[in-house]
Amino acid sequence: MTNRTKDNLLDKSLKIIQAFVDVNEGWGVRELAAAMNYTVPTTHRILLQLKDHGIVEYQTDKNKYYIALN
């Protein structure tokens, strides 16, 4: 494994998935961005991609993303 100072997009995506697994709750975009120390736009873009792939789902009534169960 190489020593890097910045995570690439895949690293960030996997860390976001791990955050859902570790907390087992939903995350708002800003809340997750702050917890991960990522920018809000980067976090939102990753969440949208994860949603497109069926990994997370968005619940509009709660304004949060959750790990997809199906």
- Per-residue pLDDT for 1 more than 90? no
pLDDT tens-digit readout, 48-63 = 999 999 999 999 999 9
The answer to whether the beta carbons of residues 44 and 29 sit under 8 Å apart is: yes
What pLDDT, on a 0 to 100 scale, did the predictor assign at position 70? 64
Structural domain includes residue 36: yes
Q: Is 4 exposed, middle or buried (CB count within 10 Å of its CB: 0-12, 13-18, 19+)? A: exposed
Domain housing 15: 9-67
Q: Indicate whether 3 belongs to any domain.
A: no
Helix (H, G, I), strand (E, B) or coil at 59: strand
Q: Tell me the average pLDDT across 39-45.
A: 97
* Of 39 and 70, the one with more pLDDT: 39
Q: What is the mean pLDDT of the chain?
A: 92
Residue type, 68: A
Output the domain CATH number for residue 39: 1.10.10.10
pTM surpassing 0.85? yes
Report yes or no on 1 lying in a domain.
Answer: no
